[in-house]
Amino acid sequence: MKNVWIICRRELNSYFSSPIAWLLLTMFALVFGYYFWTFISAFLEVSMELQMTGSTQPMNINEEIIRPLIGNTGFLEIFFVPLISMRLFAEEKRNGTIELLATSPVRDLEIIVGKWLAALMLYCWLLLFTGLNFAFLFRYGHPDVKTMAVAYLGVVLQVGALLAIGTFISTLTKNQIIAGGCTFAACLLLWLFSWVGAFSTNSWAQVLSYISVVPHSESFARGVIETKDTLYYLSVIFLGLFFTARSMESLRWRS
Amino acid sequence: MITVTDLTKRYARNTAVDRISFSVAKGQIVGFLGPNGAGKTTTMRMLTCFFPPSAGTASVAGFDVLEQPLEVRRHIGYLPEAPPLYLEMETIDYLRFVGRLKGLAGAELEKRVAYVLDRCAIGDVKNKLLGKLSKGYRQRVGLAQAIIHNPDVLILDEPTSGLDPRQINEARELIRSFAGDHTIILSTHILPEVEQTCEQVLIINKGKLVATDSVHNLQARARGAESVLVEIGARTGDFHPQLVQQRLQQSAGVSRVLIKEQFDRGAVFEIETGKGQFVRGDLARSIVNAGWDLNELRTAAVSLEEIFLQLTGTPAAPPPEPIASEPEPPEAQA
């Protein structure tokens, strides 16, 4: 456990001492800020119209703003996860530093979990800044904190799953661009699989849409922790890290 | 300290290391010599548990590389061919990271970091980014990370490659100063390096160990004989080197005479003599008696280069007999 933390800390330091973390934060804050602004303006327009027509039905911030917003951060993951995960192992392989890690008294699994955890923590740090936007909602409305927390938990789980896949892909190549590109393709596919379910209902479509990450995030966005969806994410994380461990083992046998 | 038995590494298409065996005693510096692609790095990677051997065993500091890889790694400091540096880190942070990775913590860690900064003379760059350091400094930081946890065994893969002559000397001095405290294996394809730094040599070629011996013995054994260089001249009369060659051939104890160099009124002969025979006196006497001038007479030290070429030589030459010293008694395992 101590070793995991040693690896994780170095990895985080390296994100923050290079421009990566700050660049990601800028892009993330910009895109998320734009989302937030459009949702808020739409919400205000609708509420104004409702007032004009004299409707007394209150509007729900949770349903109208928080849920779609957090759903949309899910879409951002497709772009941000590859940018974060692509360097994890590819860079070490290119620089030869993998030889230092692999010949230190540390287990492979500790290296892998440490790196994956660092990537996840970096993403959580990005998410922290979305909280700034939500702070305004708390100032002018009454959002449900519990719902929001569960929605965030869903995002973190989903990111963890995608990062585990990215970590695995990063062990396969020395080239960060290739690792990033393949991870992007994998994330995009996992996203697009959910569309299949909309067009057809045969068993293949059902399997594919189950594999997709999208349907599993819906329960969290509603503020419900579903065992089956939690289990889905945890198994993807487990599988991703498991394959990473196998890949690292084969790295030892082959290189 | 290190015992290797029939260590083998096979890849899909070729055998990189083929059943090599050797042992290294505590505190020794051993040179691992061979042309590029001979299997030096592969052997070192097996010893450092970077990857497991296909067959055979090796033990380092009493721990088996297959059974107890984590223990082995704890007792080894390893400098790969390219120093494994995180270029975006500062020297001191990097050393702390490696120290923690090797199990140091707290005051002990700080003590060791200060020690290696001083020992490897990198204190003046401790707050610089590793990416900004010159090659010589990077190599020294690489050495510093290898000794940070005070390992019993140091494994250095081509520690002087890519350095300029002054840096090479500094690096060699540093490595020599580690001997005694640490058992060192260093690989190189530069022969003088072995002659200058190491006590023992392992020569490896195409994955096979062709010789293991001390530098001194190897030089002596390579020809099974000593050879003497003699420069003979004549001030008067004709001088026929072939004639002289024949005469010399007849002296007692001489096994072979070669003409190395010829000039106007003289020549240099290389005279091989049987092992352990002292023929220099007889030679000198017979040369002078024959009326020639003896301008120079010296024993020729066979350079490691020649041994190396002989041992790893061209396929046309008959395969050299493996030269091995008497098997050392297996070291008492700590």
pLDDT in tens, B121-172: 899 999 999 999 998 899 999 999 999 999 999 999 988 887 888 888 888 8
CB of B328 closer than 8 Å to CB of B25: yes
CATH (domain of B37): 3.40.50.300
Question: Is 0.85 exceeded by the ipTM?
Answer: yes
Whether residues B215 and B239 fall in one domain: no
Q: Is B50 on the interface with A (CB under 8 A)?
A: yes
Of B71, B84, B103, nearest to A100 by CB-CB distance is B84
The chain A residue lying nearest B73, using CA atoms, is A105
Q: What is the rounded CA–CA span in Å between residue A18 and residue A9? A: 14
**3-state SS record for B194-211:** HHHHCCEEEEEECCEEEE
Is B121 within a domain?
A: no
Confidence of residue A255 (pLDDT cuts 50, 70, 90): low
Whether residues B56 and B163 fall in one domain: yes
Strand order in the sheet with B153-157: B76-79, B153-157, B183-188, B29-33, B200-205, B208-214, B323-324
Whether residues B177 and B211 fall in one domain: yes
Q: What is the rounded CA–CA span in Å between residue A250 and residue A171? A: 10
A149-153, A221-225, B106-110, B192-196: segment of lowest average pLDDT? B192-196
Whether residues B250 and B189 fall in one domain: no
Whether residues B167 and B216 fall in one domain: yes
Cβ-Cβ contacts under 8 Å for B8 (sequence gap 6 or more): B15, B17, B18, B19, B20, B53, B54, B55, B56
pTM for the structure as a whole: 0.81
Sign of the Cα torsion A28, A34, A38, A40 reads positive
Confidence of residue B191 (pLDDT cuts 50, 70, 90): confident
Q: What is the rounded CA–CA span in Å between residue A63 and residue A222? A: 8
Rounded to 5 degrees, φ, ψ at B260 are -85, -40
Is B122 within a domain?
A: no
Residue of A20, A93, A104, A108 to mutate, testing the B interface (most B Cβ within 10 Å of its Cβ) = A104
**Is the pLDDT at A81 greater than 70, yes or no?**
yes
- The HSE-up count of residue A114 (CA atoms within 13 Å, CB side) is 22
The separation between CA B180 and the C-alpha centre of its own chain, rounded to angstroms, equals 17
CB of A117 closer than 8 Å to CB of A8: yes
As given in the structure block, the two tokens for residue B229 are: 């260089």
Is B84 within a domain?
A: no
CB of B30 closer than 8 Å to CB of B200: yes
Number of domains in chain B: 2
Whether residues B163 and B47 fall in one domain: yes
Q: What is the pLDDT of residue B264?
A: 79
Residue B319 identity: P
Cβ-Cβ contacts under 8 Å for B294 (sequence gap 6 or more): B230, B231, B232, B284, B287, B288
Using only C-alpha atoms, chain B has a radius of gyration, in whole angstroms, of 25
Is B243 within a domain?
A: yes
Cβ-Cβ contacts under 8 Å for B253 (sequence gap 6 or more): B273, B274, B277, B279, B282
Structural domain of B265 = 226-300
CATH (domain of B268): 3.30.70.1340
**Is the pLDDT at A200 greater than 80, yes or no?**
no
CB of B205 closer than 8 Å to CB of B177: no
Q: Which residue has the tokens 């020690």?
A: B115
Local structure of B9: helix, strand or coil: strand
Is B306 within a domain?
A: no
Decide if B84 and A14 are in contact by the 8 Å CB cutoff: no
Q: Is B61 on the interface with A (CB under 8 A)?
A: no
